[in-house]
Homo-oligomer: A and B are copies of this chain.
Amino acid sequence: MKTLVIISHPDIMESGSQQYLLSSIPDNKDITVHHLESLYPDFKIDVEKEQALLKEHDRIIFQFPYYWYSSPALLKKWQDDVLTDGFAYGKNGKALTEKEFGLIVTIGVKKEEYQPGGREGFSIDELTKPYQALALKTKMTFLKTLPIFQFSYLTEDQKMTLLIRYQQYLTQEKDDSLEAREKWFLQELKSTDLSKLNEGDQFILEQTIEFIEESRDTIDELKIVLDQMN
Contacts and interface: CB of A to CB of B under 8 A. Distances in A.
Interface in A64-117: 67-74, 76-77, 79-80, 83
A207 to B, nearest CB: 49
A126 to B, nearest CB: 5
Interface residues of A, number: 28
Number of this chain's copies in the assembly equals 2
Contacts of A55: none
Interface stretch (A128-136, A185-193, A198-206): A128-136
A137 B120 contact: yes
A180 B126 CA distance: 34
Given A68-B76, A73-B73, A76-B76, A130 B127 contact: yes
Interface of A: 42-43, 67-74, 76-77, 79-80, 83, 119-122, 126-127, 129-130, 132-134, 136-137
